[in-house]
Structures are given as structure tokens and as C-alpha cells.
Structure 1
């Protein structure tokens, strides 16, 4: 799957996660095994996609096909990972969540624009 398509799919997941964060309450028991297993089953494919995306994006950065720096790609992967957990456990303030969300969206947009122009 090409990098542009992967990035667009991750951006869709990002929007779904934001909706989840805004529409749900935190779990009553953060140690609830059933809840943990549900979160794991829903997030595992996104984590795998994110790992693959990071590899592809770093390769594009190295080939100078996009105007991002390696640390921006790595930070975006880390921030998306944080958003994956915060979206289910609802354990950060809205302002922090939105900062992370905006940061990830910014890099995704930049990458898509670079790939479109290139």
C-alpha cells in the first residue's frame, strides 16, 4: 500500500479516535480486563499500520521525496500512539488531547501535500 493511502487511512482513524474521545466517558475501572482486551483488539491493527507507515515515511524522508525531518515522523508515530490510548481511557485534558491531535494532523497533511506535489 502506498504511503499517501496509508496516511489518509491513518487520518481517518485519527478522526474516529477524536470522536471516541469526545463522545465517551472514561472507563469505570481502568484495570477492567474486558475493557483492556476490547481496546487492544481495536487498536492493534492501527498500531501495525502506524509501524509500517513510519518505515515508509522515514524511507521517503531519507530519499528527500518529502520535506519532513526524521524526528517529525517518529514524533508523529509516538503522538498517534498516545492518542490511541487517550481516546479510550479518556485520561488527559481536552486541551492536551487536541494539541496532540492537531500535531499529528499537521504532519499527515504535510506528507499528503508533499506526495501530491511530488
Structure 2
């Protein structure tokens, strides 16, 4: 899958996660096994996409010398992973959530511009 397609897919997931964050209530217990399994089931494919995206993005940066730094790619993956958990567990303030969201979105958009 091309990096552009991967990035676009991840952008869609990012928007879906924001909806989940805004509409969800946190679980009654952080130890709720059913809730954990549901979250794991929904997020595992996104984690896999993110890993593939990071690997391909780093390779592109190395080859094409586009204007995104490798540490921005790694930070974006880490921030997206935080959003995956915060979206379901609703355990950060909206301001912090939106800072992470906007930071990830910024790099996705920058990468898409550079690759187009």
C-alpha cells in the first residue's frame, strides 16, 4: 500500500477516534476485561497500520529527503498511540486531547503535501 493511502487511512482513523472521544463515557472500571478486549479488537488494526506507516515514512524520508524529520514521524506514531487509548478511556482533558490530535493531523497533512 502506498504511503499516501496509508496516511489517508490513518487520517480517517484519527477523525473517527475524535468522535469516539467526544461521544464515549469512560469505562466504570479501568479493569473491565470486556471493555479492554473491545478496545483491543478495535485498535489492533490501527496499531498495525501505524507501524507500517512509520516504517514506510522513514524510508521515504531517507530516500527522497522530504521536509519532514524522522523524529516527527516517530513522535506522530507515539501521539497516535496515545490517542488510541485516550479516545476509549477518556482519561485526558479535551485541551490535551486536541493538542495531540492537531499535532498528528499536522504531520499527516504535511506528509501528504510533500508526497503529492
What TM-score bracket applies, with the shorter chain setting the length? over 0.9
Cα RMSD for the two superposed structures: 0.6
- Runs of 4 or more, structure 1, over 3 Å off, are none
Partner SS state of residue 66, structure 2: coil
Q: Which residue does the alignment assign to 1:114?
A: 114
| Equivalent-residue separation in structure 2 for 1:114 and 1:39 (angstroms) | 33
Matching of residue 18 in structure 1 with residue 18 in structure 2: yes
Q: Which residue does the alignment assign to 1:97?
A: 97
Displacement after TM superposition at 1:55 (Å): 0.2
Point out where structure 1 has 5 or more consecutive residues left out of the alignment.
Answer: none
| Equivalent-residue separation in structure 1 for 2:115 and 2:70 (angstroms) | 16
Q: Which residue does the alignment assign to 1:70?
A: 70
Relative to the length of structure 1, the TM-score reads 0.97
Displacement after TM superposition at 1:66 (Å): 2.1
Q: Deviations over 1:81-112 (max 9, x none)?
A: 00000000000000000000000000000000
Relative to the length of structure 2, the TM-score reads 0.98
Displacement after TM superposition at 1:24 (Å): 1.0
Mapping for residues 1-40 of structure 1, pairs under 5 Å: 1-40=1-40
Q: Which residue does the alignment assign to 1:86?
A: 86
